[in-house]
Chain A
Amino acid sequence: MSTVAVAQATAEQPWIQPSKGRVAMFCLIIAESAIFTIFVVAYIYNIGKSLYGPTPAQVLDVPLFNSICLLSSSLTIWLSERAIEHGKIKAFGLWWALTFVLGAVFLVGTGVEWNRLIYHDGLTISTNLFGTTFYSLVGLHASHVIIGLCMLLVVLLFTITGHVKEEHSERIQVLALYWHFVDAVWIVVFTVVYIIGR
């Protein structure tokens, strides 16, 4: 038997399948969502269960500026996606760089917040149950921001050295999906930690 002719009649209509990059990134996002779900559930379940302080109401401030930075980075990365789709590499680079800066500001803001919590309020991951759940949930999100920033930085370096072209727009969009996910998760974390949990 030959390895070749399995064909009976050639189908003439165009053969279109979903992009494997997008499918894979959606799968990764689903898997990551499950991890976040478990941490969020653990946080919600343990609200108010700490046997001793400090309590969220005593030490947490709502990080409004941070959140605005992170959420608006979703807008800037969307603008950069549109730019590269139309072949405007310069505009792409600018919006992409702005996205990176906004993400970095968020991360620095988290660092400042944690610094205050640890050295001023004396809340560490082992202080009480609130500390355990707070640092693990916010830290899980922050670690995703760090991974996202690393990938943004790699693309930024490629852009500066002139390696990013219009044909890469799909890969850029796949990467941007991850960043949108990180932003969307922050809405959940923010709601749970700073609104419901406080």
Chain B
Amino acid sequence: MADSTYPIPGSLETTPRRWSQAAILEWLNSWVITVDHKKLGILYILYAIFFLLVGGAEAIAIRIQLIHPNMHFLSPQVFNRIFTMHGTTMVFLFGMTYIFGFANYLIPLMIGARDMAFPRLNALSFWLTFFGGLLLYYSFIGGGGLYGAGNAPDVMWWAYAPLTERAFSPGHAPDYWALSLIVTGFGTIGASINVIATAFCMRCKGMTLMRLPVFVWVNATASGLALITITPLTAAQVMLLIDRYLGGHFFDTQAGGSAVVWAHFFWIFGHPEVYVLVLPAFAIANEVIPVFSRKAIFGYPAVVAASVGIAFVSLGVWAHHMFTIGMTSAGNAFFVLSTMLVGIPTSIKIFNWLATMWGGKIRFATPMLFCTAFVVQFLLAGLTGIMLSIAPWDWQLHNSYFVIAHFHYILVGAIAFCIFAGVYYWYPKVTGRMLSEKLGKWHFWLFLIGFHVTFDVMHIPGLLGMPRSIYTYEADRGWTGWNQIVSIGGFIQAIAVLIFAVNLIWSYFKGKEAGNDPWDAWTLEWATPSPPPAYNFATDPVVTSRRPLWDLKHPDDPDWHYE
């Protein structure tokens, strides 16, 4: 390895590690006190995968309960807690952490930096997020409070007032919900500030803003959006706690307060949040699709502009979650039109990906398989989104399983697929070993089939009028067969995710050696050894185009001739 010529101590393990007790403690300690962006990135990803499994187990519990009318697998009270925890976990503990896992690990490597702009803030942000998540799950033990009424939060992930007021939710369950999300929210703000400062202030020589990898651009956009998205939720949760603990009246309708205001505040957070989650998924696709199509990304400026455009448009669409709450026609019309506007920048991106693939020499390795499926599924999810943006259609289908199917199409079909692509793509860089392609193919095809069986079919009980969040249903409604198919699809997805988990562990020990650049890729992280040393780059890199490694491999035909 070229790196061994640099006499920097501690860069590479040369002696085999002896696993005495002291060595194990020292190793654990090194993960707790670390401020290294790579270690923190790995911690974020492991944390996200852990909560993906937890949230997935909750989803499976929900699907078992709904597989048959009048099931008694979960009691109604437990069912409410489980779907609340499923939503909260998946959005805040899985979704909001995977983005910073990828961003932390990759951005400094991609821009040729030694670390993030603020390494200690980085560690603080991770541990805030970590303990915020623990606090949420501690509610299972501590949430009953003195009243003994309920334990985990059971108010849905949007916690609509006035259900969350003291009179209707005694005990401490909603407090755990609010406090833990305030804590993880502070972690998110810290991490977002760090991502933006890193992307704009730590670039290596020659890395102008128009040469920044799209991944970095899109992540910086998502972080900027997170800054103005998470904070309204924090503010609303502070108001909720004021109501619950100091006797305030923000959402107390009997004292002149308004429950609708909570809904507005929540969705001012809640809708842009979806874009905070999906933009980093786009970022992954933006890296994977060009590399596996053997073409530079089509229309770099358009991709970047569309990402920033999505962030802006997403700020003005929140009330399409509230068409049934009783707004004025002018309000409805505004949010119908603004929501449809989202279709423009997202379509630009879809056409960019298609044009990148078009005429390319596509290699269908596992990351590319996931990204290809992503493009199709994201388009379909967008189409149901346009349907739901039409207020009268939404009046009919609001709160039904059609809506659940729509947003899971984004959250699973787009975001989870891209995350899997990203893990398969960068796992060799992080561990030095390839993930097994064979298990990867099994994972992909099972997950694809399971996904479509579940979420394609789930639209239908929604159209037939099945409301969301019900713990059971009557046998004569005609929903039974559909629910059984949906549940079976869920189980197939669970098997696929378990294969993925096995693959992660097996390949760590037995996987093929990856080398520095297994995919013949173009961004700077592939110029470092796998795994990269603590200092990343032995000398500061200098770049002259968007694809520095292409220039290195093809000095006769460098990219900067064409940019």
Pair A7/B541 contact, Cβ less than 8 Å: yes
B560 close to A (CB within 8 Å): yes
| Chain A positions within 8 Å of B539 at CB level | 3-4
Query: Is there a chain A Cβ closer than 8 Å to B344's Cβ?
Result: no
Closest CB of chain B to A181's CB: distance in Å? 14
Is the CB of A108 closer than 8 A to any CB of chain B?
A: no
B68 contacts partner chain A, Cβ-Cβ < 8 Å: no
Q: Which of B233-273 contact A (CB under 8 A)?
A: 234-236, 238-239, 242-243, 246-250, 252, 255-258, 261, 265, 268
**Complex interface: stretch among A58-66, A121-129, A151-159, A190-198:** A121-129
Whether, in the assembled complex, B555 has its beta carbon less than 8 Å from a beta carbon of chain A, the answer is: yes
- The listed residue (A5, A9, A20, A129) touching B256 by CB distance below 8 A is A129
Given known A6-B542, A24-B193, contact A35–B235 (CB-CB < 8 A): yes
At the interface, yes or no: B117 with Cβ under 8 Å from chain A? Answer: yes
Surface stretch bound by A, among B299-307, B389-397, B417-425, B544-552? B544-552
Q: Is the CB of A126 within 8 A of B248?
A: yes
Can you list 30 A-B pairs, Cβ within 8 angstroms, ordered by A?
Answer: A1-B2, A2-B2, A3-B2, A3-B3, A3-B527, A5-B552, A6-B543, A7-B544, A8-B543, A10-B542, A11-B542, A15-B206, A17-B202, A27-B192, A31-B230, A35-B234, A37-B232, A38-B231, A38-B236, A39-B235, A42-B239, A42-B265, A46-B250, A46-B256, A126-B248, A128-B249, A128-B255, A129-B256, A132-B243, A136-B250
Contact with B along A10-27 (1 / 0, CB 8 A): 110001011110011001
Instruction: Check if B249 sits within 8 Å of A15, measured CB to CB.
Output: no
The CA of A179 and the CA of B541, in the complex, are separated in Å by: 38
What are the residues of chain B within 8 A of A45 when measuring CB–CB?
258, 261
B residues adjacent to A (C-beta < 8 A): 2-3, 112, 117-118, 189, 192-194, 196-198, 200-203, 205-206, 224, 227-232, 234-236, 238-239, 242-243, 246-250, 252, 255-258, 261, 265, 268, 516-517, 524, 527-529, 533, 537-539, 541-545, 548-549, 551-552, 555, 558, 560
Given A27-B227, A31-B231; A136-B202 close (CB under 8 Å): no
Partner of A34, one of B232, B256, B549: B232
Contact partners of A10 in chain B: CB under 8 A: 205, 542
B228 touches A125 (CB 8 A): no
Name the A residues within 8 Å of B549 (CB-CB): 6
Cβ of A73 within 8 Å of any chain B Cβ, yes or no, is no
- How far does the Cβ of B498 sit from chain A's closest Cβ, in whole Å? 36
Interface string of A49-80 (1 = CB under 8 A from B): 11100000000000000000000000000000
How far, in Å, is A141 (CB) from chain B's closest CB? 13
Say yes or no for A30: interface residue by CB 8 A criterion: yes
Min distance, Cβ B393 to any Cβ of chain A, angstroms? 29
**Complex Cα gap A136–B537 (Å):** 49
Query: Contact check: which of A30, A126, A133, A136 meets B247 at CB < 8 Å?
Result: A126
Contact of A166 with B by CB under 8 A: no
Q: Give the interface size bracket for A toward B.
A: 35 or more
- Tell me the number of A-to-B contacts counted with CB atoms below 8 Å: 162
A113 in the interface (beta carbon within 8 A): no
Known: A3-B538, A8-B551, A38-B236. A23 touches B527 (CB 8 A): no
B460 to chain A, nearest CB (A): 39
Q: Which of A8, A23, A31 contacts B558 (CB 8 A)?
A: A8
Known contacts A17-B203, A42-B261; A27 and B542 CB within 8 A of each other: no
When distances are taken between beta carbons in the complex, the residues of chain B under 8 Å from A160 are none
Tell me the smallest distance from the CB of B458 to a CB of chain A, in Å: 34
Q: Please, which residue of chain B has its CB at the minimum distance from the CB of A5? A: B552
Shortest Cβ gap from B52 to chain A (Å): 27
Contact of A50 among B256, B517, B527, B543 (CB under 8 A): B256
A136–B238 contact, CB under 8 A?
A: yes
B230 (CB) vs chain A CBs: closest residue = A31
Tell me the complex Cα distance, A2–B515, Å.
Answer: 11
9 closest Cβ pairs, A-B complex? A126-B247, A38-B235, A20-B201, A34-B231, A132-B248, A6-B541, A7-B542, A49-B256, A31-B227
Apart from A4-B538, A20-B202, what are 11 other A-B pairs with CB-CB below 8 Å?
Answer: A1-B527, A3-B3, A6-B543, A9-B544, A11-B542, A24-B196, A28-B189, A30-B224, A31-B230, A128-B255, A136-B239
Q: How far is the CA of A158 from the CA of B545 in the complex (A)?
A: 45
Say how far A18's CB is from chain B's closest CB, in angstroms.
5
Query: Is B200 in contact with A8, judged by CB distance below 8 angstroms?
Result: no
In the assembled complex, which residues on chain A have CB atoms less than 8 Å from the CB atom of B250? Answer: 42, 46, 129, 132-133, 136
Contacts of B224 in A (CB 8 A): 27, 30
| Chain A residues with CB below 8 A from B234, complex form | 35
For residue B3, which residues in chain A have a CB less than 8 angstroms away from its CB?
3
Q: Which of A6, A9, A37 contacts B524 (CB 8 A)?
A: A6
State whether B247 touches A6 (Cβ < 8 A): no
Q: How far is the CA of A8 from the CA of B548 in the complex (A)?
A: 9
Nearest-neighbor residue (CB-CB) of B195 within chain A = A27
Whether A125 pairs with B247 at a CB distance below 8 angstroms is yes
**Nearest residue, chain A, Cβ from B542:** A7
Q: How far is the CA of A119 from the CA of B224 in the complex (A)?
A: 44
Chain B residues within 8 Å of A24, by CB? 117-118, 193-194, 196-197
A30 contacts B228, CB within 8 Å? yes
In the assembled complex, the CB of B257 is this many whole angstroms from the nearest CB of chain A, namely: 6
Known contacts A35-B235, A136-B239; is A23 also within 8 Å of B552 by CB?
A: no
Complex contact A8–B560 (CB within 8 A): yes
Distance of A34 Cα from B541 Cα, bound (Å)? 38
A37 / chain B contacts, CB cutoff of 8 Å: 232
Q: Which residue of chain A has the shortest Cβ distance to B544 in the bound complex?
A: A8
Q: A3-B3, A39-B235, A132-B249 are in contact. Are A46 and B257 (CB under 8 A)?
A: yes
Residues of A within 8 A of B239 (CB): 39, 42, 136
Contact A18 B201 (CB under 8 A): yes
A161 to B114, CA, bound (A): 34
- Most chain B CB within a 10 A radius of its CB, from A17, A28, A35, A38: A38
Q: Which residues of A contact B516 (CB under 8 A)?
A: 1
Closest to B5 in A: A2
Residues of A within 8 A of B117 (CB): 20, 23-24
Residues of A within 8 A of B541 (CB): 6-7
A178 to B533 Cα, complex, angstroms? 37
Closest to B228 in A: A34
Most chain A CB within 10 A, of B231, B258, B268, B537, is at B231
Contact B196 A23 (CB under 8 A): yes
Closest to A20 in B: B201
